[in-house]
Structure 1
Amino acid sequence: MTGIHAIHGPAQSTRSPRMARLEWGLMEIEGLAPGKDFAPGKDFVLYPGGGHPWDRARHGTRHIPGIQPGDVQELLGRGVEVVVLGLGMERRLQVAPPARELLRESGAEVHMDEARAAVEVYHALTAEDRPVGGLFHSTC
């Protein structure tokens, strides 16, 4: 994990940060690094007003069985109504059945796709000024 932990945008911000760059193993997120234009990292959790690098090991997230309920719960706990899951450049990151069930029960609108396609959807939704959050994985 990088030296960037929980970094939030301005308190009054309700927009989710934009991803400025995505390539294999690298994402740059606008406005998350203090004093810098972009915060670089490999995987990110983004939500209205901020985001941070995604420590997938925290909840036991691996490619299989996939994204865990704890990862999803962080987004829902931040008031996200639309969830975008970037499943990696080769779509190898799965979504564990308990996480799928949590998303279904929450009533959140959910989008899941390959990393680049997920970022396109995320940007389109944030442009509508909706409470959007996402989990993004930049490798396989």
Structure 2
Amino acid sequence: MAASIERPELRDLYGTAPVPDLDTCDFFHVHIDERSTSVTFAFETSQLPANPKPEWTESAYNTLRFWIEFTGVSELRVSGILAEAKRAVRITGGAAPDRLDVSVTSETRSIAFSASASHVTHTRVYLKAASL
């Protein structure tokens, strides 16, 4: 099952259009904050929202970045550090009520944990140069 990002913050941007599947997004950042027991993931997609923020329409853009913070993190497991292009992102209901099970895995690396909540903390659009 693919990772759902049906967060209200993104649903407002995409309206009735499909919200990007996390497996199709570039996964470019992980921040583990042991002080507040949180983990933040950052993703990037070229699947643009149907309802952009008004300030976004002032400039050209072709890429959306968004950060998802998971709070109340427990059972954190990390194996390996380097990012790999082929990986699977999973966010499912946890074994315990009101918990999420989160994992990002590839052939040689992984991060997995349980979280009590998640929310989109930041969104940003920009014009990404074409790959050579």
The answer, yes or no, to whether TM exceeds 0.5 is no
If you compute each CA radius of gyration, which structure gives the higher value, 1 or 2? 2
Higher strand share: 2
Q: Normalising to structure 1: TM-score of the pair?
A: 0.26
TM-score by length of 2: 0.27
